[in-house]
Amino acid sequence: MPARAPADVVVAGGGLVGLAVAWRAAQHGLRVTVVDDAPGSGASHAAAGMLAPVAEAAYGEESLLELAHASLARYPSFVAEVERASGLSVGLRTAGTLLVGFDEDDLRALFALHDFHRELGLAADRLTASACRRREPALTPRLRGGVLVRDDHSVDPRALSAALLTACRSAGVELLPSRVEGLVVEDGRAMGVRLCDGDLRAPAVVLALGAWSGRLPGLPPGTVPVRPVKGQILRLRGEPLLSGTVRGMVHGRAAYLVPQADGRLVVGATTDELGFDGRVTAGAVHDLLHDAAEIVPGVSELELVETLARWRPGTPDNAPLLGASALPGLVLATGHHRNGVLLAPVTADLVAELLATGQASPLLQRFSPQRFQSIDAQREVTAP
Ligand code: GLY
């Protein structure tokens, strides 16, 4: 194996989260190597790019909101900095998000969600059907009403990946196009990652492998409780139909339509606990197109240019795993489930601060990867 420059930090995984962490860590003066044979090709490639803490707020996931808002607040400056560093646009769109419903049941579910938003102090306004259509004239006249979330925005995740790759290179991050085949563990400590042509050693390893994070050979059992949550998603092309994101309940089924700067419309997404099943099914494509066309009839005229399946990294509480794991030397930046794009800036800031200073901020501590481990299991993993 040719000699490589020594790194302070090896980041396993070059998706949006891994790249953002690497970039911030390099800005702290750390020598960083990112290992990925196809950066940005996992969940970051499929994601619609919604920055939607309110619209995505789910019952039982309230703990995520503070983190999500902290990240959304960082987005404008994060985007400005990435765009400046890379010279590339990342397609930030700040037209808000409109949630719409079709029948009495959809509307009841939507307004119950709106009551939940208000209980949590989140800003969202009910709109009549005609007010919804004044905002988005392409919406079907059959809709019954909606809720506007002015501060939920979107970005183009593919453009953001490309810009972060360039920003990483300019900041001196080494990008190694290899597959991470395992974790190197010696004397109860992570010492680097295993590649096909040898080990890449570093005092700190950041695990940012998304849905694959829990499966890395060498991990002590139970250290990274991440499971794949399959999502199928479509991309359409044609006449621009929407100014901002629209999310709809169509007879009880949720769908979203996200316009992007390149003129495409992203339509998503299914959510299935099917492991690493990578098939795009006729049923999913049918349902997504059907629901999108119910919400915006003009969708039927668009060209279907892409269908794909990827996996969200789910955790037991669907909040991310951030910071020191039970294995010394191993830091996690994974488990972002539905919110990887939104949470990339705050993840990067908090994890890079930990890597550079050894300090875990209170917010980072709330998402400690060790929150699921019993005392016995922690003793077992950390035993010398
Ligand atoms: N954040 C959108 C999704 O997970 O489908």
pLDDT tens, 177-186?
Answer: 999 999 999 9
Residues of the chain with CATH 3.50.50.60: 9-46+158-226+317-382
Residues of the chain with CATH 3.30.9.10: 97-150+227-309
If you measure from the C-alpha of residue 211 to the centroid of ligand 1, how many angstroms do you get, rounded to a whole number? 14
pLDDT tens, 261-277?
Answer: 888 999 999 999 999 99
With a CB cutoff of 8 Å and minimum separation 6, the contacts of 145 are 100, 101, 107, 110, 126, 127, 128, 129, 132
pLDDT at 381: 45
If you measure from the C-alpha of residue 269 to the centroid of ligand 1, how many angstroms do you get, rounded to a whole number? 7
Q: Alpha carbon of 176 to those of 33, 36, 86, 202, 325: distances in Å?
A: 7, 6, 19, 14, 24
CB atoms within 10 A of CB 285: 16
**Residue 209 DSSP label:** -
Residue nearest atom 1 in ligand 1 by C-alpha distance: 338
CB atoms within 10 A of CB 6: 11
3-state secondary structure of 124: coil
What is the CATH code for 97-150+227-309?
Answer: 3.30.9.10
> Which residues does residue 247 pair with via DSSP β-bridges, in sequence order?
99, 256
What number is the average pLDDT over the span 286-295? Answer: 96
For 320-366, the DSSP string reads: -EEEE-SSTTEEEEE--GGGHHHHHHHHHHHHHHHHHHSPPPHHHHH
With a CB cutoff of 8 Å and minimum separation 6, the contacts of 221 are none
What is the CATH code for 9-46+158-226+317-382?
Answer: 3.50.50.60
Contact status, residue 243 vs residue 132, Cβ threshold 8 Å: no
Contact status, residue 22 vs residue 34, Cβ threshold 8 Å: yes
Q: Tokens 């994890």, residue? A: 351
Ligand 1 atom, smallest distance to 48 CA: 2
Q: Is the pLDDT assigned to residue 13 strictly greater than 80?
A: yes
pLDDT tens, 353-378?
Answer: 999 999 999 999 999 999 987 544 54
312, 318, 343, best to mutate for ligand 1 pocket (most atoms within 8 Å of CB): 312
Q: Report if pTM > 0.85.
A: yes
Nearest to 60 by CA among 252, 349, 256, 337: 337
User: Which amino acid does the sequence have at 104?
Assistant: E
